[in-house]
Amino acid sequence: MDQTVLARLAALKAMSVRDLKAEWEKLIGTAAPNNSRTFLEIRIAYRIQELTYGGPDRQTRRMLDLLADEVEGVARRKNQIADPRNPVVGTRLIREWDGVEHTVIVLKDGFDLQGQKYKSLSAVARAITGTRWNGYRFFGLRERKREQA
pLDDT tens for 43-100 read 999 999 988 988 888 888 888 887 777 776 666 665 555 566 678 888 899 999 999 9
With beta carbons less than 8 A apart as the criterion, state whether 124 and 135 touch: yes
Give the span between the Cα atoms of 50 and 89, in whole angstroms: 39
Task: Read off the pTM.
Answer: 0.46
What's the pLDDT score for residue 89? 81
**147 has pLDDT over 90:** no
With beta carbons less than 8 A apart as the criterion, state whether 116 and 107 touch: no
Give the span between the Cα atoms of 50 and 56, in whole angstroms: 8
Nearest to residue 107, comparing CAs of 130, 131, 82, 125? 82
Q: Indicate the angle between helix axes 17-28 and 37-53, nearest 10 degrees.
A: 30
**112 has pLDDT over 80:** yes
* Cα 30-31-33 angle, rounded to 5 deg: 110
